[in-house]
Amino acid sequence: MRRVVVAKPGLDGHDRGAKVVARALRDAGIEVIYTGLHQTPEQIVETAIQEDADMIGLSILSGAHLTLFERLMTLLKERDATDILVFGGGIIPDADIVLLKEMGVSAVFTPGTTMDTIVEWVTSHVPA
């Protein structure tokens, strides 16, 4: 079964979008571990490793996406866990999406992306 950790890093307290994505993934038969608000990249990576997750999905609305994703990707490399795919969503400028993909982030979903699109992407990138 696919396992996805959905997380809200940093000080951003708006988690409605993360919860909607988590529910859509669960409804599609994917096991979701939602970490809750105010997680550090260290906590998120530790959870993903402990839970044997296939993916980490970050929801970031705070504007700190470059810093938070960069730290997360570094930690995954340090923990020899680069097989865990990383995707994210939030209010992220197009120019920054290019930078995130260069860091190794697999996909970035911006406001207006349908849940079907996110579920389809997740299911197509991790075998059942």
- 95-117 pLDDT tens trace: 999 999 999 999 999 999 999 99
pLDDT bin (cut points 50, 70, 90) of residue 13 is: confident
Domain boundaries, the chain: 3-123
**Distance of alpha carbon 128 from alpha carbon 90, whole angstroms:** 26
Average pLDDT, the chain: 95
**Distance of alpha carbon 126 from alpha carbon 95, whole angstroms:** 27
Of 3.40.50.280, 1.10.357.10, 3.40.190.170, 3.50.50.60, the CATH number of 3-123 is 3.40.50.280
In terms of Cβ atoms closer than 10 Å to its own Cβ (0-12, 13-18, 19+), residue 63 is: middle
